[in-house]
Structure 1
Amino acid sequence: MTWISTPLTADLLRGALDVEHTEHGLLPHRLPARARAQCADPQLAMAESQPSGVRLVFRTRATAVELDTRPTKRVYVGAPPRPDGVYELLVDGRPMGRSSVIGGDTLTIDLAAGTSEHRSGPPGTARFTALPATDKTVEIWLPHNETTELVALRTDAPVEPAPDPGRRIWLHHGSSISHGSDAAGPTSTWPALAAFRGGVELVNLGLAGSALLDPFTARALRDTPADLISVKLGINVVNADVMRLRAFGPAVHGFLDTVREGHPATPLLVVSPILCPVHEDTPGPSAPDLGSLGSGRLRFRAMGDPAERASGKLTLTVIRDELARIVARRAADDPHLYHLDGRELYGERDHTELPLPDDLHPDAAAHRRIGERFARLAFTADGPFADRSA
């Protein structure tokens, strides 16, 4: 086979807000450099560099594709090995293959000691073969939960950037649940599933552990072109225990004000948290139950005291009420602002059938249900994201 190497450039990427040129290649980022410079939190740095929703997109007649990458694998001390990240290839929107990359760097995290260690490793290759020998659009969705440095792209036919598909751009921000948590792969996170059903282009700013109403995230949303915007707020504010009710309301107003500076009339949907029983009426912070590591599934506990609600500590019940009140007040002057109670996506009956495996994050089946419901509630004729251009 004669391979053709194609330089990896930003015009082959969708879903990233920035790219960093590294010693080895190209590192996609989901927050711009200015935002990254304003927060040194390692959790945020890890989350925004994990390319949830980011994909390589190109036109080609190639029947074989190889992508060299340098992933960063996470290892938790005392826990079984995590599965390798998944690369998914689509041809003209249809799934045509999955692959993983062996090798790469390793980030070893000791939750008990609160320490981490980074070790460098060699790049590896994701391979896809037996593709149709026709002109086609190829998408390679990168692992949603594995930092991925792009090193080289090889095909057996020339590659060129794919033209703009002309679909509406949906810009979404949320927590680890929007990031992908325990989804089966990058095209199976609930935002990706909803985007496919809604016929839109996804830009996913779901940032695990980092949906904290940060001003730099609001500015990133403000400055990113979008036809539709949603923000799913609340769970990280509770489980990180970062503010009280007095601060939460003004922070939400300020966040929405900033988004509206760049998108004054764009449909903007505020989504409150899905059901999470451990934090419905118990404040944060959340803490890992280290005793559960040996069983292969980390679980989380709510460490707050329900009595502390009287002093303004936040629970999911309090946050849902506050978000509904804020949106109702603002919607009087903003006809393009909408609200969705997250329990319509995943509520008590869903939890009975599909409980949260770690008490915090939905599993693959629940991601599919949430994605399908969001698409039905948001993108259909009566929804806030209905296509009214026709």
Structure 2
Amino acid sequence: MDHDPLTPDLLLGAIEWERTERGLLPHRLPARARAQNPEPLLALAEVQPSSVRLLLRTRATAIELDTLPTKRVYPGISARPDGVYDLLVDGRLHASTTVPGGDTLTLDMATGALEHADGPVGTARFTGLPDRVKDVEIWLPHDEATRLVALRADAPVEPVTDRRRRVWLHHGSSVSHGSDATSPTSIWPAVAAAHEPVDLVNLGLSGNALLDPFTARAMRDTPADLISVKIGINLVNADLMRARALGPAVHGFLDTIREGHPDTPLLVVSPTLCPIHEDTPGPTEFDPEALRAGRKMFRATGDPAERASGKLTLVSVRETLSRIVRERAAEDPHLSYLDGRELYGEADHAELPLPDRLHPDTAAHRRIGTRFAALAFGPDGAFAPAPGTSSH
């Protein structure tokens, strides 16, 4: 097979690309934002390529992608499965695979210590592709940092230059990042984007949807036709701020986005249902009894009585977001609000409970994404195409 250059015009969904000695590394926050970030867990999250993919046109029947993944290891917890690579042909899932080897990053959940060890490059192989000219997408693992090393195919590949889709820029927490879905195209933003379809830029940042000004500036400066921000769960489980700070922080985040996108449809999404934090403040911590049994579970450690002193709960966050959007919409006709419980609420939790009490599984991601597509992209939704236009 012939080697094909890995160039940025084959790559979608990242904010920046960094050429390193060990491969091409996608970033979901720009260098300026990364320089202002003191939090190592955000650095880990932004480099995990959620919704980042290669897009190419070819009649190749076999494609190989050499990558250098970073596998995360949690001592005392069952080994994580290898990250999944999904290959789509003309928008339909054709095959999935994993890549062995790679670097390892050991995270001690008791102490927060990180230890990195180098490992070998691996290869994602896809064969049996239809023998015709087609658009091929290779979605990188949503939760596994991945450097791209080499691309090979048994026919020439070229960038897709005639794709006329609206760009949807989304920001949210680990739920938007994709925890705990099993593959990159099964996370809820990818499910929703495929229903329309639109080109997704996913700034879901596990544990770090915290109204950071540098994230708002990154969104301000990123071209987009549609924007959504899903706010709330991380503010509660990080116990980051009190009620007094929340309103001004939300206003400031939205003001910054509007500096670069004054008329773009902007949808504010409140938290989906999470029973442990509906009325109980954070912080969230790993459940020590579950950890002793080798399982990852979460618990809320706040006291509901602390709501009186301004500690946040999901109920109070939803009330604040709804009020702010209602007030701002009087002067901003392109601003909308969606209650996250319309995506995943009490009935959904009864049927599809959160396995670790915090994150939806693949079936719940599919439901959230399908509902978001209907509510946001439907005829009456915030992202409905203008009459006489289409994103297809």
Q: TM-score range by the shorter chain?
A: over 0.9
Structure 2: distance between partners of 1:160 and 1:197: 26
Q: Which residue of 2 aligns with 1:379?
A: 377
Structure 2: distance between partners of 1:288 and 1:372: 30
Q: Which residue of 2 aligns with 1:326?
A: 324
Structure 1: distance between partners of 2:82 and 2:135: 26
Q: Which residue of 1 aligns with 2:305?
A: 307
RMSD: 0.9
Q: How does 1:249-328 map to 2 (within 5 A)?
A: 249-293=247-291, 295-328=293-326
Amino acid at match of 2:107: I
Q: Which residue of 1 aligns with 2:149?
A: 151
Structure 1: distance between partners of 2:321 and 2:295: 32
Q: Could you tell me which of 70, 75, 90 is aligned with 1:72?
A: 70
Q: How does 1:145-294 map to 2 (within 5 A)?
A: 145-293=143-291
Q: Could you tell me which of 116, 128, 139 is aligned with 2:114?
A: 116
The answer (yes or no) to whether the contact 1:20–1:27 under 8 Å persists in 2 is yes
The answer (yes or no) to whether the contact 1:112–1:290 under 8 Å persists in 2 is no
Identify unmatched segments of 5+ residues in structure 1: none
Structure 2: distance between partners of 1:14 and 1:299: 34
Q: Which residue of 1 aligns with 2:99?
A: 101
Deviation at residue 385 of structure 1 after TM alignment: 0.5
Amino acid at match of 1:48: E
* Structure 1 pair 164–294 and aligned structure 2 pair: CA distance change class (3 A): farther
Matched residue SS, 2:105: strand
Structure 2: distance between partners of 1:187 and 1:293: 29
Structure 2: distance between partners of 1:303 and 1:295: 20
The answer (yes or no) to whether the contact 1:274–1:346 under 8 Å persists in 2 is yes
After superposition, give the CA deviation of every residue in 1:12-67 in whole Å (9 maximum; x if it has no partner): 10000000111021000111111111002111011110000000011111110000
Number of residues paired by the alignment?
388
Q: Which residue of 2 aligns with 1:339?
A: 337
Structure 1: distance between partners of 2:163 and 2:127: 25
Q: Which residue of 1 aligns with 2:11?
A: 13
After superposition, give the CA deviation of every residue in 1:117-150 in whole Å (9 maximum; x if it has no partner): 1101001000000111211111000000000000
Structure 1: distance between partners of 2:53 and 2:92: 14
- Quote the sequence identity (%): 71
Amino acid at match of 1:42: P
Identify unmatched segments of 5+ residues in structure 2: none
Amino acid at match of 1:107: L
Amino acid at match of 1:132: P
After superposition, give the CA deviation of every residue in 1:158-191 in whole Å (9 maximum; x if it has no partner): 1111114101111000000000001121001000
Deviation at residue 292 of structure 1 after TM alignment: 1.3
After superposition, give the CA deviation of every residue in 1:63-122 in whole Å (9 maximum; x if it has no partner): 100000000000101011100000000111111111100000000111112211110100
Q: Could you tell me which of 55, 58, 66 is aligned with 1:57?
A: 55
Deviation at residue 295 of structure 1 after TM alignment: 4.3
Structure 2: distance between partners of 1:124 and 1:269: 39
